[in-house]
Structure 1
Amino acid sequence: MSTTERHPAGLRTLFLTEMWERLGFYILMAILTLYMDQEMGWNDATKGTIYGAFLGLSYFFPVVGGWLGDRVLGRTGTVRTGAVLMTLGYASLGCSSRVAVTPFFAGLLLVGIGAGILKANLSVLVGSLYEDRPQLRDAGYNLYYMGINIGAAVAPLVATAMSIWFGSYRVSFWIAAVGMVFAQVFFLRGLRHFPATSAAAAEQQRLEDSAAPEEFMPRLLALGGLFLVAIFFWTAFYQNGFAMTLFAQRSTKAYNLLRPETYQFFQPFFILVVTPPMLALFARMKRKNCEPSTPGKILAGMLIMGGSMLVMALASRLGGNLDRPLMSPGWLIGAYGFITLAEVLISPMGLSYVSKVAPPKIRGLMMGCWFAATATGSYGSGFLGRSYGRFPHDHYYLLLAALLGFSACLTLLLFRRLKTFDTQVVP
């Protein structure tokens, strides 16, 4: 097998870096709402506002991170800076309590900024490894996404174990800090797999100088349409850490080892199970010249995500609206199954699409804008979450299903424009 027919060695470095980084981040996501509820004693409106603001910060700052990576610190320098900020942020959260609120907000701020500037540049680095093998780019992002989800799958199990053994969520924040130390170690050990910043910057400048300005606008319009569609997906997706966590806490039958934070294990676990056969299926379809386009996969993901919200609406109508522990865990686990399929079809495909379509001189910035769309949707999840207890839960989930139906219609309207650039790489 030639070197252009297998994945580059740098993918392993980025896989392990992101796995450890996401372990810490998803430990925080698994317990943030519960920590604010049980440790801080805040009401749903306050929790929803803080939850949405933190996610918005985490996924808006990639715009800044993309600019820093493009123009100031370089990709690797920005990743290292973000990792240090995240480590300090988790340590600050570990020092917080009901009477020490300042470390709580300082920790969220540091983690949000650090994750933001790190995330965009790791994602761009993945794409940069495939300049000489673009046919493997989609599969590369899927494999990278598996690293994300190994960390995300282990995280709620760690949080559950820590809360059982120590009777507090606070210890989990220190575990997240240790995870960030491991992320930095693996990243530094693998730096040799990436081109020198100066060489990359020189090549980028050459591309900027040779590219015609009129080539940019159609690509930017296509990306703008993708970002708009993504907002609705992430608004529904991030109910996993808010409305669905509250459903687990208040409306689902309790079991000793199946606690509210544990449910967030199922989604990344399903991704690890689903991704290999899905990659094999797409590879087989590609050999037969019938693989769906990236926009086609995204459209299918939107429809499946709408199905997950309908599952939750039905569960709410059948008893979840009462906020009493009546419902089988199967409802939540089934909904997470639908969410998993949707996520695999949308999130790594969105990263790959941005990597393919974005003009080289602003590739980091455009990757940041993808995460800014995530930020807008994640803030929307918290904004809607403030109303979780104000009207029946089935109405809440039906509203989300309607938003996803609208986004699917929008994807259809934009489909031709999105598909135009799907198989092209910026010259």
Structure 2
Amino acid sequence: MFKKHPKGLLAAALTNMGERFGFYIMMAILTLFISAKFGLSEITTGYIYSVFYASIYVLALIGGLIADKTQNYKRTIMWGLILMAVGYFIIAFPTPTPVPHFALYLTLTCFGLLVIAFGNGLFKGNLQALVGQMYDKKEYKERIRQEYGVDKRGQVLDMRDTGFQLFYMFINIGGFFAPFIAIAVRNWWLKFNGFDYNAQLPELAHQYIGNASAMSTEQMNNLQTYSSQVMLDGSVVTDLTQFSNDYLNVFNRGFQYAFFATIIALGISLIIYLVNQSKFPDPGTSDVKLKKGEKIAREEVTMAASEIRQRIYALFAVFGVVIFFWFSFHQNGYSLTYFARDYINLDAIDINLGFTSLKGAEIFQSINPFFVVLLTPIIMWVFGALKKRDMEPSTPKKIGIGMGIAAL
């Protein structure tokens, strides 16, 4: 599978898979954790979620500027991994629930998210840039020319698109398993403390502790019913205040332990990255070693005004595609998560593993990466067959096809 690709592609893919594994653990549980931890409404949680993801993309620009300025992409990527681990640790550090110092702990959580966003900005875009640069190396192109020759147009076999498909497939392998780990850790901690999982209880418990008199009769009945249902010893809850405090504390501690799994994943990614650094290109150096005092001749390309306008239009078209694609994609972690929690019978999806169970709204976060992993080899085969017949669509056309399918 990797035979026709640069030697560093597998290492980069594994590094990114571990990092994305941790990131998708967080993505699966972030909104539910914030709501359950602080008793915030879905709207307020959505504001935090939106600012966090906006920060990820804004700080990706900063991360690119830092790497370009220093010309030390490898170190920038390494610090990105380290900072993300620090951010996850800030969020994962066990704290009591209900929160005794609300403003302080919420500020610390938001600060942890900011650190994660900055680390992501240093890591993600720059690693992808390194992957792209692998295909520009003279040594790689010469190896492909010697082993596979050239195509009908006399050009070296271009495997860049296929390489990024493989790279993205590894991301989604991590994304597929991440929600299961998040659920398993949280439900294990609940079971260890004698509780079962119920998606509605955190909100009801916060309402009861905050202002029980404002709860409706239906809400009070639901709290009483659910509280007894989740007691694994079969006991009937008589003290709802004590139960609400205990359940919230255990429920959120399970979430925080799940965040520790992200730190482990990042540690593995960092080890893979450091061990394989020599396989990655170094944009700060040239393929040709220059003698002291020599300079690289700057190659200037002259384009007509119409061609410049055409490229600018194409760039804005890409901007539009990216905006709407990620606008849709990130509904997974917010509106679709709440939809799964509130409108799907989660008891019907309960995989009992003995020491824990796989039950929760987060499980639906695995659907998208599952199909990406399943369909990527098929898509690669289709485009490979079209390429042999000189019928492969251009990269922009592939993006357009993908957007059309996603819209359906």
TM-score, length of structure 2 as denominator length: 0.70
Alignment partner of 1:242 is 2:331: no
**Cα offset for 1:30?**
0.3
**Cα offset for 1:104?**
0.9
Alignment partner of 1:109 is 2:117: no
Whole-angstrom CA distance in 2 between matches of 1:202 and 1:219: 30
Whole-angstrom CA distance in 2 between matches of 1:41 and 1:202: 59
Partner of 1:229: 321
Q: Do the aligned residues in 1 keep the contact of 2:134 with 2:281 (CA within 8 Å)? A: no
Q: Do the aligned residues in 2 keep the contact of 1:31 with 1:159 (CA within 8 Å)? A: yes
**Cα offset for 1:198?**
3.5
Q: Do the aligned residues in 1 keep the contact of 2:64 with 2:121 (CA within 8 Å)? A: no
Q: Do the aligned residues in 2 keep the contact of 1:142 with 1:275 (CA within 8 Å)? A: yes
Decide which of 196, 209, 212 is 2:301's aligned counterpart: 212
Partner of 1:150: 173
In structure 1, give the amino acid aligned to 2:388.
R
In structure 1, give the amino acid aligned to 2:7.
A
Q: Deviations over 1:44-85 (max 9, x none)?
A: 111111111111111221111111121215211110111111
In structure 1, give the amino acid aligned to 2:363.
T
Q: Over alpha carbons, which structure has the higher Rg?
A: 2
Q: Structure 1 pair 96/220, CA: closer, same or farther in 2 (3 Å)?
A: farther
Q: Deviations over 1:18-46 (max 9, x none)?
A: 01100111110000011012122100111
Alignment partner of 1:273 is 2:380: no
Provide the secondary structure at the position in 1 that maps to 2:401: helix
Partner of 2:207: none
**Cα offset for 1:292?**
2.1
The alignment covers a number of residue pairs equal to 304
Whole-angstrom CA distance in 1 between matches of 2:26 and 2:382: 34
Partner of 1:58: 56
Alignment partner of 1:20 is 2:112: no
Question: Is the deviation greater in 56-65 or in 29-38?
Answer: 56-65
In structure 1, give the amino acid aligned to 2:55.
L
Partner of 2:89: 91
Provide the secondary structure at the position in 2 that maps to 1:22: helix
Partner of 1:195: 281
**Cα offset for 1:288?**
1.2
Q: Do the aligned residues in 2 keep the contact of 1:75 with 1:121 (CA within 8 Å)? A: yes
Decide which of 271, 278, 284 is 1:185's aligned counterpart: 271
Within 5 Å, give how 1:381-400 maps onto structure 2: none
Q: Do the aligned residues in 2 keep the contact of 1:24 with 1:177 (CA within 8 Å)? A: yes
Q: Do the aligned residues in 1 keep the contact of 2:56 with 2:121 (CA within 8 Å)? A: yes
Q: Deviations over 1:302-329 (max 9, x none)?
A: 222222xxxxxxxxxxxxxxxxxxxxxx
Partner of 1:10: 8
Q: What runs of 5+ residues in structure 2 fail to find an aligned partner? A: 142-155, 191-253, 351-357
Q: Deviations over 1:1-29 (max 9, x none)?
A: 9x9x7111100110110011001111100
In structure 2, give the amino acid aligned to 1:128.
Q
Q: Structure 1 pair 30/208, CA: closer, same or farther in 2 (3 Å)?
A: farther
Partner of 2:216: none
Q: Do the aligned residues in 2 keep the contact of 1:27 with 1:158 (CA within 8 Å)? A: yes
Partner of 2:243: none
Alignment partner of 1:259 is 2:351: no
Q: Do the aligned residues in 1 keep the contact of 2:46 with 2:334 (CA within 8 Å)? A: yes
Q: Do the aligned residues in 1 keep the contact of 2:84 with 2:116 (CA within 8 Å)? A: yes
Q: Do the aligned residues in 2 keep the contact of 1:156 with 1:264 (CA within 8 Å)? A: yes
Whole-angstrom CA distance in 1 between matches of 2:286 and 2:124: 19
Provide the secondary structure at the position in 2 that maps to 1:61: helix
**Cα offset for 1:178?**
1.2
Percent identity of paired positions between Structure 1 and Structure 2: 34
Q: Do the aligned residues in 2 keep the contact of 1:78 with 1:118 (CA within 8 Å)? A: yes
TM-score, length of structure 1 as denominator length: 0.67
In structure 1, give the amino acid aligned to 2:121.
G
Q: Do the aligned residues in 1 keep the contact of 2:78 with 2:270 (CA within 8 Å)? A: yes
Decide which of 173, 176, 179 is 2:259's aligned counterpart: 173
Q: Do the aligned residues in 2 keep the contact of 1:54 with 1:108 (CA within 8 Å)? A: yes
Higher helix proportion, which one?
A: 1
Whole-angstrom CA distance in 1 between matches of 2:31 and 2:76: 29
Whole-angstrom CA distance in 1 between matches of 2:13 and 2:296: 28
Q: Structure 1 pair 246/189, CA: closer, same or farther in 2 (3 Å)?
A: same
Within 5 Å, give how 1:393-408 maps onto structure 2: none
Provide the secondary structure at the position in 2 that maps to 1:199: coil
Q: Do the aligned residues in 2 keep the contact of 1:88 with 1:110 (CA within 8 Å)? A: yes
Partner of 2:248: none
Q: Structure 1 pair 290/237, CA: closer, same or farther in 2 (3 Å)?
A: same
In structure 1, give the amino acid aligned to 2:125.
A
**Cα offset for 1:134?**
6.2
**Cα offset for 1:173?**
1.0
**Cα offset for 1:244?**
0.6
Q: Do the aligned residues in 2 keep the contact of 1:66 with 1:121 (CA within 8 Å)? A: yes
Whole-angstrom CA distance in 2 between matches of 1:20 and 1:281: 28
Within 5 Å, give how 1:353-372 maps onto structure 2: none
Partner of 1:303: 404
Whole-angstrom CA distance in 2 between matches of 1:298 and 1:197: 27
Partner of 2:209: none
In structure 1, give the amino acid aligned to 2:341.
Q
Whole-angstrom CA distance in 2 between matches of 1:202 and 1:67: 25
Q: Do the aligned residues in 2 keep the contact of 1:248 with 1:260 (CA within 8 Å)? A: yes
**Cα offset for 1:201?**
9.6
Whole-angstrom CA distance in 1 between matches of 2:264 and 2:171: 17
Decide which of 45, 70, 73 is 1:72's aligned counterpart: 70
Q: Do the aligned residues in 1 keep the contact of 2:185 with 2:255 (CA within 8 Å)? A: yes
